[in-house]
Amino acid sequence: MTETTPAAPSKPGRSEAIGDFGIDTTARTTGEALRDYLARVRGGELGSLPALAGLIVLFVLFALTSDTFLTLGNLANLLAQGAGVTIIAMGLVFVLLLGEIDLSAGTASGVTASVMALHLVSGGNLLGAMGTGVFITICVLLVAAGVVAVQLRLPAAVAAPLIALVILLAGVPANPWVEMLLAVCIGTSIGLLTGFLVARIGIPSFVVTLALFLAWQGVILQFIGAGGTLALNNDTLFAVANGNLPALASWVLFVVAAGGYAAVLLGRHFRRMRAGLVTQPTPLVFTKVAVTVVLAAVGTYLLTQNRAQTTVIEIAGVPYVVPIVLVLLVVGSYVLDRTSYGRHIYAVGGNAEAARRAGINVPRVRASVFVVSATMAAVGAIVYSSKVGSVDPNAGGGTTLLFAVGAAVIGGTSLFGGRGRMSNAVIGGAVIALVQNGLGLLKQPASVVLVVTGLVLLLAASVDALSRRRAAASR
């Protein structure tokens, strides 16, 4: 009887290995992808769809009812009009993702704006402008913020209070770039103190930020005085929200932004295809890229046309606020979508206890989002102060916070935590700006603007609550 040698086990093929690990490699047609999307929508996963639909409806409505809405000057002004609130809303997205709230973001931005303006008008002598007692108190708070940054293990934030302290103590002469740096550093320092009170002391964020909302309002009054105004008489600061890129630079921005978007989206699509992973059908991906590129090209072309009302001057080019918002959007989206820190934020927002048991430093994450919120509030303060050209005691107060929170929620960020993206704030900010701009052109009073904005926010919150209920029921 002849003994046969058993055949050596063959190595599993790539498809077998993928199957062993349960990776879904099912290819979908365009029709199947669309049906799957509609099924997710019916299941409560609406995302930014309601906000986008509302944005289109409002745009068409105001275009039909106002003779000046579609003018180039108004469309360019629309971009700058809502930029400040949009940037503050982008920071608030980080806080809302944890199911927290930052009611002090508005007045905190006012504090940073007032310090920036005070440093400018005083020629850098904040000791003389603030008075000895207030100056020493601010320095002590900056030192405390630095200590808090070390205690919370937030190394990226340690430098901010130290830089602000050096600018104050050294009496650095007034300079627009120094003013903006000082504002951002003050904002980061405010966020560190807020985050410490919430994450380490354990005070509910609603109580902490409500108290600081009132406190920072008092600080603004102390810096500026009741009825006072600090003018930003500086061409660089004024140009932040009112200046425009040259035509050539505008087209370079288009190539970089649109080309970068296409490269990232198509690159990710084809990498997933090569790996045998499920991705959207190629025609849908190309359609998304083509629509985005065409809209960006049309917008760039229109904005590079002369929109001045007289022949004496020429006003053309993409407003500076557009690349500012784009950079913040790209960086913020990358942090949330592509870093472990971003995944930790979503994990804590989804279930803080589960995140803690998984080894995530929940207090550190909770504190850090308030640092991001206050830092972005400072950037927003620079933009909206530049737009009006001055800072008054109402800076950051009134409806600033309400519009910022409204922008994030209207865009699709959930008030219950765990769901939201940076793009939600941009879409929601566009809706807020559109309502204000359109109703203003129709000569509607402020009362009507507030009522309509409030109803839009209420509708967005209702959609969020109902979609969550529907999603839970469909599981």
* Cβ-based neighbour number of residue 206 at 10 Å: 13
The structure tokens listed for 461 are 């919150």
Backbone angles phi, psi at 416, to 5 degrees: -95, 0
What's residue 21's pLDDT? 40
Per-residue pLDDT of the chain (475 residues; tens, 9 = 90+): 444 444 444 444 444 444 444 444 445 677 767 777 677 666 666 667 778 888 888 899 999 998 888 888 888 888 888 899 999 999 999 999 999 999 999 999 999 999 999 999 999 899 988 989 999 999 999 999 999 999 999 988 999 999 999 999 998 999 999 999 999 999 999 999 999 999 999 999 999 999 999 999 999 999 998 778 899 989 999 999 999 999 999 999 999 999 999 999 888 888 888 887 777 788 888 888 999 999 999 999 999 998 887 777 888 899 999 999 999 999 999 999 989 999 999 999 988 899 999 999 999 999 999 999 999 999 999 999 999 899 988 888 878 888 898 889 888 888 878 888 899 999 999 988 998 888 888 888 888 888 888 888 787 777 767 766 766 666 5
- Closest Cα to residue 105, out of 317, 444, 401, 423? 401
Contacts of 116 (CB under 8 A, 6+ apart): 179, 180, 182, 183, 381, 382, 385, 391
* Amino acid 343: pLDDT: 94
Residue 20: the pLDDT is: 42
- Per-residue pLDDT, 457: 78
pLDDT at 17: 42
Kindly report the pTM of this predicted structure. 0.88
Dmax (CA) of the chain: 109
SS3 of the chain: the string is CCCCCCCCCCCCCHHHHHHHCCCCCCCCCHHHHHHHHHHHHHCCCCCCHHHHHHHHHHHHHHHHHCCCCCCHHHHHHHHHHCHHHHHHHHHHHHHHCCCCCCCCHHHHHHHHHHHHHHHHHCCCCHHHHHCHHHHHHHHHHHHHHHHHHHHCCCHHHHHHHHHHHHHHHHCCCCCHHHHHHHHHHHHHHHHHHHHHHHHHHCCCHHHHHHHHHHHHHHHHHHHHCCCCCEECCCHHHHHHHHCECCHHHHHHHHHHHHHHHHHHHHHHHHHHHHCCCCCCCHHHHHHHHHHHHHHHHHHHHHHCCCCCCCCCCCCCCCECHHHHHHHHHHHHHHHHHHCHHHHHHHHHHHCHHHHHHCCCCHHHHHHHHHHHHHHHHHHHHHHHHHHHCEECCCCCCCCHHHHHHHHHHHCCCCCCCCCCCHHHHHHHHHHHHHHHHHHHHCCCCHHHHHHHHHHHHHHHHHHHHHHHHHHHHHC
d(CA 285, CA 279): 9
Model pLDDT, residue 82: 87
CA distance 168 to 400: 28
